[in-house]
Structure formats: C-alpha cells, structure tokens
Amino acid sequence: MQQTTNKVIWITGASSGIGEACAYLFAKEGAKLLLTALEKDKLEEVKLRCVDLGGQAEILPYDLSDINGLEVLVEQALEIYGRVDVLYNNAGISQRAKAGDTLFSVDQKIMDVNFFAPVKMTKLLLPKMIEQGGATIAVTTSISGRFGFQLRSAYSSSKHALYGFFETLHAEYYDNNIRVVIVCPGRVQTNISFYALEKDGKQHSKMDAGQAGGVTTDQAAKKIVKAIKKQKPEVLVGKKELLMVYIKRFFPGWSRKLVRKIKPT
C-alpha cells in the first residue's frame, strides 16, 4: 500500500460530496492537496479544514466544461508543487431527461465535464508523471457506466467511455508505473441529483429519493481512499444497487428487463 504523506494529490469536484470527503482523509495523512471545483468560496472552506486536519492545500477553481483552458489549469497545478502523484478525476454532472427530449448541447456539456475534461487533464499530466517515475490516476465512473439507465443517456454514455479510456491507459502505461483506479459508485448521499441537468439544461434542483438513501460520503471516501492507496484497479461503492453490476455480467437479458422496470430516481 502506497503512503500519501507529502504526496501531491489533485482532486476535482473537491468542493462537496465524495471529493470533499476524500480530501479530508488525505489531509489527515499529511498530503499536499490541489482542490478544483467551480465554487471558489466552497473550495476555500475545504482548504481551511484540510489545513486544520494536518495537510497542505491550494485551490484551483475552474469550470471543467471549458475544455480549451485546461492546458493553463494543468500548468498552474504543476507550478504549485512541481508534480502530481495522484490525480483523482472525480468531478461530474448527471442528467434527468429522456434521450430524445434532451438538447444536444446538454449531451455535449455532460460529455465535456464527465469524459473529455478528465481525459485531457490526464493526457496533459501523463508525460510529467512518467518522467517523475510514475503516478496513480483515479476516476469516478458510475454503475451507470456498466449498463444504460433511464433518464441518464448522456451521463451513462460518458461513464461507459471513461471505462474504455482508462482501462486502455492502464494497459498501455503499466510498465511506466502508471496505475489506474476506477471508482464505481452506486447511490451516494451527494448533491449530484440536485445539480443534474434536465432536457433543456436547467438544474434538476432536488435530491432524488434513491440518492438520499445511499451510503454517506464519509463511508464512500474511506473505501475510495483505501483503494487509491492500494492502487486497486476498480472499487465498487454503494449498497444493494451494486448487485445490478453482477446481474448485467451474468444475466444480461434479466438486466435489461430490470432496467426497464426500475424507477429512475
């Protein structure tokens, strides 16, 4: 198991939810944190608590839907500590609309934030990571990245795509000491449903019942941080909904029937 004391750990989506909870656990171990999210004021609060817990922390507020500015963001990150030992691509945005009703611009935004941003950040950092002798790259997907789910067409697509890219990256750069950890959550008590996009791009603005009944962010973070430290290829996080992953694997026909019947909330 790798130690995270004095390691530089960059977390996106760090202002709340899973990213925030993971930041606090890493801070307790004396990590040097880079925190990215859209909300600067919330990042400042997370930074202060990380410092109180014994870590170092700097913030890099950014809108990850702006793909064209990521080169500058990565340069700024490397200027702070000179390296990144763990990149945790955690930021994401969900969806609550049928495929045929969703504007294509909404599909594009979801793909930009969930897929193209982590891919581009990873590609920009990869040469430096190889030069420094290796690194760990973690990425938050979803059980919706294992099977399609109602009202999540673009979200599910982005999460499927993450599996394809990062599993390939792991195979191609394993000999360069690049390790990939795929984090696959089910239902976690975060604000992801609140900020999900409806068909026209408007905010969903409510917590889904299924989300509210999920595991806590602290429970999720403990499992995720342990997996990152162990450089575990994949970690499933959630409750009984994770059974769908295995049903899809071994009973695909039954899985398709279940997905049609499960209420998408």
SS3 per residue for 55-103: CEEEECCCCCCCHHHHHHHHHHHHHHHCCCCEEEECCCCCECECCCCCC
> Domain for residue 179, yes or no?
yes
Residue 86, phi then psi, degrees to nearest 5: -135, 120
Check residue 213 and give its pLDDT: 83
Check residue 208 and give its pLDDT: 78
Cα separation of 148 and 191, whole Å? 21
pLDDT tens column, 55-90: 999 999 999 999 999 999 999 999 999 999 999 999
Instruction: Report, as ranges of residue numbers, the positions in the chain whose pLDDT lies below 70.
Output: 1, 265
> Domain for residue 70, yes or no?
yes
Check residue 81 and give its pLDDT: 96
pLDDT tens column, 192-231: 888 899 999 998 888 777 777 899 999 999 999 999 999 9
For CA atoms 41, 190, 158, 154, the dihedral sign is: negative
> Domain for residue 15, yes or no?
yes
The predicted model scores a pTM of 0.95
Check residue 79 and give its pLDDT: 97
CATH code of 166's domain = 3.40.50.720
Check residue 265 and give its pLDDT: 64
Residue 9, phi then psi, degrees to nearest 5: -120, 120
Q: Are 181 and 232 in contact (CB under 8 A)?
A: yes
> Domain for residue 35, yes or no?
yes
Domains contained in the chain, number: 1
Cα separation of 149 and 144, whole Å? 6
> Domain for residue 181, yes or no?
yes
Q: How far does Cα 256 stand from its chain's mean position? A: 26
The catalytically annotated residue of 155, 173, 195, 246 is 155
Task: For residue 81, indicate whether it is catalytic.
Answer: no
In sequence order, what E strands does 135-245 have? 135-140, 178-185, 234-237
Check residue 191 and give its pLDDT: 87
